[in-house]
Amino acid sequence: MQADIVFIAISLLAAASAIALFASRRLLHAVLALTIAFMSSSLLFFYLGETFIALLQLFVFVGGLSTYLVVAVAAEAARGKFELYVFIPLAVLFVIGLSEIVINSNLSLPAPALPASFTGASIEALTVYYPVLAMLLILLFSAVIGSILIIRKFVRLVT
């Protein structure tokens, strides 16, 4: 019963953050709403019993990419009257609250993890699916190179 309530709460949080993304007038608020959507999807993975995927989602998307987005957008917003530090205590309270909910409730369902064994799945991924992995690496590499080229053009424009 408690797990159901937590699941409904997480789902509502995800839906509300998705609506807030489009409804917000400021870009920084939209980015923060996307961060909350990433966090709630990570909590849903926890709920499904996929701890590894949930942690990956949390570290890569919430910890890495969302921070990257927030810093980039806030750097532009800081030129105006917006002050980012207002959100820091709110963010800390939010993370502590969510952690309390996750730790104090038995969120995992009696469902099996995504692959039966991560070792077997990893070996299969590196042998059978290696062209896909190579394509993904090329895609990431080309995106990084393209971004560097665009940023260099911007730096040349400024200086």
Partner 1 sequence: MTNRNFIVIMLGIELILTASTIALVSFFDYSQSSGAGGIILLFSIWTVASVEIITLIAFYVYMKSRGFDFDVSKLSKMKW
Residue 104 carries which side chain, given as an amino acid letter?
N
CB of 138 to partner 1, least distance (A): 10
Q: Which of these segments, 1-9, 39-47, 81-89, 91-99, binds partner 1 (CB under 8 A)?
A: 39-47
5, 55, 90, 111: residue in contact with partner 1 (rule CB under 8 A) = 111
Of how many residues is the chain composed?
159
Residue 4 carries which side chain, given as an amino acid letter?
D
Determine if 8 is a binding residue for partner 1 (CB under 8 A): no
How many other CB atoms are found less than 10 A from the CB of residue 9? 13
Angle between helices 2-23 and 27-48 (to 10 degrees): 160
Distance of alpha carbon 38 from alpha carbon 10, whole angstroms: 11
How many other CB atoms are found less than 10 A from the CB of residue 77? 17
Site string for partner 1, 115-144 (x = CB under 8 A): xxx--xxx-xx--xx--xx--x--xx--xx
**Residue (9 or 60) nearer to partner 1, CB:** 60
Half-sphere exposure of 80 (CA within 13 A, CB side): 9
**Site of interaction with partner 1 (CB under 8 A):** 18, 21-23, 27, 30-31, 34, 37-38, 41, 44-45, 48-50, 53, 56-57, 60-61, 65, 68-69, 72-73, 76, 111-112, 114-117, 120-122, 124-125, 128-129, 132-133, 136, 139-140, 143-144, 146-147, 150-151, 153-154, 157-158
